[in-house]
A and B are shown apart, each in its own frame.
Chain A
Amino acid sequence: MSYIKQLQDNHSSLDNSIALIDCNNFYASCERIFNPKLMGRPIVVLSNNDGCIITRSAEAKQLGIKMGEPYFKAKKIIDKNNVKVFSSNYSLYGDISQRVMETLAKFAADVEIYSIDEAFLGLNGFENYELNIYCGYIRRIIKQWVGIPVSIGVSSTKTLSKIANNLAKKNKEYDGVCILKSWFDINDALKLTPIGDVWGIGRRLSIFLKKYNVNTAYDFTQLDKGWVRKNMGVVGEKTFLELYGVSCIELDLIPSDKKSCCVSRSFSRPIEKIHDLEESVSSYGTRVSEKIREEGLVAESMSVFVLTNYFNRKEKQYSNSIKLQLPYPTNNSIKIVKRALEGIRKIYREGYRYKKAGVILYGLTRASQTKGLLDYDRESSDSIMNTMDRINERYGSSTIRLASEGIEKAWKMKRDNISPCYTTSFQNLVQVKLE
C-alpha cells in the first residue's frame, strides 16, 4: 500500500499526456458521409460473407441489436425497424481511416495508428484547460474535414486514456472529450469502469479476477502489486502500474515492417471440387502478392491452408496446411500463385465440404535490401508486376488477372449490400443531382 501512496503523492507521474482518439461506430459513420439521409437512422454493417453484425450505429444499439450477432438472428428487429444494412466495404473504410489519421498528424508530432479507427497522440506540454479546448478543436476538424465523429480520452498512460475515452463515449454531457489528469477524477473513473473493460484484461482474466471480488478497475488497483505479478505475470503488472499513471506501454511511432501477410476468406457456400479451391487460392495468392508489393516487400516462403466448417458438427471435418519454400525472395504473383497451386493440390482431400482457404507469406524483407544471386529475371518480373498493378489501379482491381483465378468465381464472398467505393474508384463517385 505504501508503494501506491507514494505513486499518488508523486504528482509528477501525471505529467505525461496521451490522447486516445477513437472513431464512433466507424464503419457506420463512413457509410453516412455520402448518404446524409442515413443521419439519425439505425445502421448495421456485416462481416465478410454477410455473416455477423460487426458495427452498429447508436440507433441500432438502442434497438437491442447485439455486437457479433449473426445477421439472420437479428433480421426480425432489422426488418421491423427499417434498419439499413451494409456489407463491409473495406476499400471505403480504409480510405476514410487514412484521411482521419492524416488529419490527426497535423495536431501532434507523435501519432501511433493503433487500429483502423483508433490512434494514440502524444500531447505533452498542454495544461489541463488547454487540453480540453485543443481536443474539442481536433474533434470539430475531423468532423468537418472527413465527416467522422470521434471521441477523445486523455490521461497520462495509454491504459488510462482508454478508460477516459470510454467515458467520453458513454456520457453525452462530456461532448466527446474526457480528460483524466487528477487523482480525484481518475479514482472516480476507475470505480465506474468494469474490470472487463480495462485494456489488457481479457474475458478470461476478468472471470479470474471476479473470483477475488475484483469487479471494477478500482478494485484491481487495490490488490497487492506482488500478487498481481505472481498471478498475472508481467503484462498484468504493467496494466496495474498504468492504472497508477506510470507509463509502461510507450507510443509505438515507427510501425515495424510486417513479418508475414495473410489473405484468407470464407466461401459464400461450401466448396467440394479441387477446381474451385484452385481458383480461390489463385485469387488469394494474387491479392497477398499485391499487398506486399504495395509495401515494397518480398517473401521467402509461404503456406497454404484449407479448412471445413467446424460449427457444422454433422459433417466430417478436415483441415490442413502446407509450408512451401519460394525459389528466391519474390513478390511476383505468378511465382507465388504457382507454388500456392502446388500446395493446394497436395493438401486437398476429396469428399469434404470446405469452408475457408488462405495463403500466408512469410519471411518478408524489403525488396531493395535483397539482391539474391539467383533472381536473374528480377527486372522483367518487376516490370510485369508493375504493369499489372498500374492497369488494375487505373481500371479497377482484377481488370487484368491470372487465368487460374477463374471467371465465374462461384466461391466468391457474399456481399449483397455493399456501398459504392466512393473515394477509391472513378466509376463509383457520388452522383450529385443538379436540380
Chain B
Amino acid sequence: MNEKNILSIINIGNNKKTVTPLFLDSVSAGFPSPVTDYLENKLDLNEYLVKHPAATFIVKASGPSMIEAGILSGDLLIVDRSVTPKNDNIVIASVFGELTVKKLRKKGSTLFLVSANNEYPSIEVKEEMECFIWGVVTYVIHKAITR
C-alpha cells in the first residue's frame, strides 16, 4: 500500500516537470550540456518570407496562366504591397475590378501585363481600363507533396 502511494506522488512530480521546463541545465551533478551555449531561436518562416508584415497579404492562385513562372494552381502567393513594382516583377493587378496575377513588362512608355503561358494573351494597359497594381508577389509557396 505504502509503496503505491509513493509511486503515484512521483508520477505527479514528473508530469509537472514536462509542462514547464524552466531550466535547460537543471542537472547540477553532471557535466553541463555543451549544447545549451549554442541554442538559438528556431527558424521562423514568417521572418524569412515577410519583410513588411503590415503590408503583406497572402492570396491563393487558381488557374494555369503563370505556369512558366513557377506558379501553379493552388499555390500561395506572398504579396508585399510596400514594394514598388518594377519591370519583370510578378504582380497582382486589378483589371476591370478583377484581381489577376501577371508579369509586369515595360516596353517604351507602354505597360503590358504578360502571362507566363503561351496559351494566354498579354494585356496592354490602357487608361480606360481601370487597371492598377495591387501588390508585388515576393514569394510563391508550392506544396510539393500531393498525397
Interface residues of A (CB under 8 A from B): 34-39, 98-100, 102-103, 141, 144-147, 379-380, 383, 422-423, 426, 429-435
Q: Which residues of B contact A146 (CB under 8 A)?
A: 54-55, 81
Q: Which residues of A contact B65 (CB under 8 A)?
A: 434-435
27 contacts between A and B (CB under 8 A): A34-B99, A36-B99, A36-B132, A37-B97, A39-B130, A99-B53, A99-B54, A102-B53, A102-B54, A103-B55, A144-B55, A144-B82, A145-B54, A145-B81, A146-B54, A146-B81, A147-B81, A429-B58, A429-B60, A429-B76, A430-B57, A430-B99, A432-B59, A433-B99, A434-B71, A434-B101, A434-B115
A-B pairs under 8 A by CB, number: 84
A297 to chain B, nearest CB (A): 20
B129 to chain A, nearest CB (A): 12
Interface residue total, chain B, C-beta cutoff 8 A: 36
B19:A379 contact, CB within 8 angstroms:
yes
User: Would you list which residues of chain B between 37 and 69 have a CB under 8 Å from chain A?
Assistant: 52-55, 57-66
Q: Which residues of A contact B63 (CB under 8 A)?
A: 433-435
| B16 within 8 A of partner (CB) | yes
B61:A380 contact, CB within 8 angstroms:
no
User: Would you list which residues of chain B between 95 and 143 have a CB under 8 Å from chain A?
Assistant: 96-101, 115, 120, 130, 132, 134
Q: Which residues of A contact B20 (CB under 8 A)?
A: 379
**10 A-B pairs closest in CB distance:** A37-B97, A434-B63, A145-B55, A36-B94, A434-B65, A102-B54, A99-B54, A429-B60, A430-B59, A103-B54
Chain B binding surface, main DSSP class? mixed
B55:A432 contact, CB within 8 angstroms:
no
Q: Which residues of A contact B98 (CB under 8 A)?
A: 36-37, 433
Q: Which residues of B contact A430 (CB under 8 A)?
A: 57, 59-60, 99
B97:A434 contact, CB within 8 angstroms:
no
